[in-house]
Each structure stands twice: as C-alpha cells, then as structure tokens.
Amino acid sequence: MKNNTALIVGANGIIGRHLTEHLTKSDDWNVIASARQSLNYESTADFIALDLENSEQIYSFSEQLKNVTHIFFNAYTERKDPYQQAEANVNLLKIFIPALEEIAPNLKRVLFIQGGKAYGAHLGIYKTPAYETDPRSMTPNFYYDQEDFLRQQSQGKNWSWTALRPDIVIGFTVNTPMNLANLIAVYATICKEEGIPMRFPGSYKAYNALVNVTGADVLAKSLEWASLETKAEDGIFNITNGDVFRWSQIWPKIGDYFGVEVAEPQTFSLTEYMPGKSKIWNEIVEKYNLDPHSLDSLVQWGFGDFIFNVEVDAFLDVNKARRFGFHEMNGDTLSNLLSTFQNLKDKNIIP
C-alpha cells in the first residue's frame, strides 16, 4: 500500500516533469499530475487539468484529490510588470490552497519552488555564496509573497511548508523555452550548420565568473526528501548540483561534444540575432528528420542573454540541506549538461 499521494502542480514544466517521472518510479507514492493542458509526455500518473484561478473547477475534482498528502507547487504565470507578477502568482496559492485544505483532510506538506531571485539574482548582483538566512532584496517579489502566505495559512494547521531554491534548472523538456540546456544545444547546432565557431555570446567577465546550476534529477530527489523529512518543515533550502564552475572551463568541452569549433567569446545579443535563425532551424529539422519543434517552443533567447552576461560570481551555499540529511548534491555539471544534450539527441530534438 502506498502511503503518500502527491499532487504535482505544473507537471508539464521542467521541474514538474522530472518530479513526476521520479515519483512514479517509487513504491511509496500515488501520483496525480496536473497542468492546464494534457501531459506532453507519457506517464503512469493520474492526470487532471486544473485551472488554479477557478476555485469551482478545483472543487469539481474533490473525489480525485481527497487523498492528497503532499502538494508540489511548480505553477507560474508570467506578467511583465513586477507588481502584477507578484499579485498574480500569490493569488494562485490563495485560491488553490484553501480549496485543497477542505478537499484533502490528510494534507501534510506544501512544497514550492523559489530560486536565485530570492537573493536578488534578477537585479544583477547578489552576495555570494548565498545563504538561506540572507536578508530579502527589493520587492515586489512573488517568492516572498508566496512564502508569507504559506507561513500564515499553515499556522495552527496539520500541514507545513517547505521552499526549495534551485539555480538555473537543467534537464530535458520541450515547450518550456526558458531552458538553458535547450538554448545551448540549439545554438551549437545552428553554429555547426552555418560553419561558424560556437562563441560564448556573453561578456569576458561573465565567461570567467563562478556559477552553479541545478540538475532537474537532483532537484526531484530533493523535493521528495524535503517532503518526508520532519526537520525540513517550514524551512528553506538551496539546492544545486553541488559544484561551481566557470563557463570558460566547460564551453570548449561543450563544443567538443557537438563537434563544433569554439573561438574566443564575442559579446552579442542572442535576442537580436537568433530569432532570425528560424528558417535555418526549420531546414535543420527537415534535413535531419527531427521532431518538428519550432525555435520559439525550444528556446527563449532573452534568458540566455541574462545568464551569459552575469559578470560577478553567482552561486548558492548548499550545506544547510546537507546538514539536514540530503546528500545527493555531489554532481558534475558538465556531465549533467552533456547527458541532457544526449537526451535531446535520443528524443530526436537535435541532430
């Protein structure tokens, strides 16, 4: 008999997909995956199409949701204005959580994702290494709003919350274009097809700054760990692969993997130059008989412009999670990236 029932909200995203795949392999979990649209991958998880802004629709799934013990909340809604973004994303929880409290009386834990923005990474510079105890940065910031809501909402209840803070999540997914592995793979493929070097497109300073990333697999393991660990109740934990690196150290090795020459960095805007490569990409798809994914469905070039132009060290301290018992952060980011690239090849996304 399975003791826990997971409701994975946002199951089509990079985090939700890998968590769904991880928990469905376990004998300890019943898994319910939810998203606005059907899953874009095969899974043994039960699926429900939840609209988090529609409380009546949430209650209509009461029978399917009544045994939920753990909520893994990965949903996100985009707004360009930061104040509107904060309001919209906290409202998702304000509508959803009270409904689940009524529907699922055995609810034990709500886990949600924060990230580098909790330290002000989106503002450009933050103190490194970043600790979970660091003070908050300039608001609005929906991470803070969601955390404050869950702190207040859980008071006196039988359930608790846990926040995990990954940094630049790496893993296989499609139709989730804010994905650095996809971006690098597509960029390398286009450079190779055009017969030009795969130059690092950011600044020299960014090429040599210390950074870290979080593999989607280790993040999935950490979410399961945090959901069951009593000491993780009402806590915040940084989660990364456990190593730090400089792009200058691994960029040539990425080039070797793709069989494309790597030359000195040359700063240019991916957002300005790469959307115009749609015709070339379509030709690549046809030439190599790839699955017909458009450039826009695979890559968000502005995300690359931001990541590749962070000119100061940007990494998180992960020892708190280790002290609390999570010992999986001993990875190798280059291997993580190369295995993700290979997955893209195996699934016929890139040649």
Whether residue 134 lies inside any domain: the answer is yes
Q: Under DSSP, is residue 183 helix (H, G, I), strand (E, B) or coil? A: helix
Whether residue 351 lies inside any domain: the answer is no
Q: Are residues 26 and 113 in the same domain?
A: yes
The domain total for the chain is 2
Q: Which of 19, 92, 18 is nearest to 50 (CA)?
A: 92
Q: Are residues 278 and 155 in the same domain?
A: no
Q: Are residues 261 and 309 in the same domain?
A: yes
Whether residue 189 lies inside any domain: the answer is yes
Q: Are residues 79 and 152 in the same domain?
A: yes
Between CA 104 and CA 65 the distance in angstroms is 6
pLDDT by position in tens, the chain (length 351)? 678 999 999 999 999 999 999 999 999 999 999 999 999 999 999 999 999 989 999 999 999 999 999 999 999 998 989 999 999 999 999 999 999 999 999 999 999 999 999 999 998 789 999 999 999 999 999 999 999 999 999 999 999 999 999 999 999 988 888 899 999 999 999 999 999 999 999 999 999 999 999 999 999 999 999 999 999 999 999 999 999 999 999 999 999 999 999 999 999 999 999 999 999 999 999 999 999 999 999 999 999 999 999 999 999 999 999 999 999 999 999 999 999 999 999 999 999
Q: Are residues 86 and 198 in the same domain?
A: no
Q: Are residues 310 and 200 in the same domain?
A: yes
Domain encompassing residue 192: 169-213+244-346
Sheet holding 70-73, edge to edge: 46-49, 29-35, 4-9, 70-73, 109-113, 160-166, 235-239
